Structure 1
Amino acid sequence: MADRTEAPPPFTKAQKWAIGVAGVFFAGLAGLGGYGSFAAVDAVAKDYGFGSHSWIVPIGVDLGILAL
Structure 2
Amino acid sequence: MGVHRSALCRGPYGGDGDRSDGTDCSDPAVFEVARHDRPPLRVCPVHLGPSLLLASGVLWPPEITLIGRL
When normalised by structure 1's length, the TM-score is 0.22
Larger strand share, 1 or 2: 2
Larger helix share, 1 or 2: 1
When normalised by structure 2's length, the TM-score is 0.21
Structure with the greater alpha carbon radius of gyration: 1
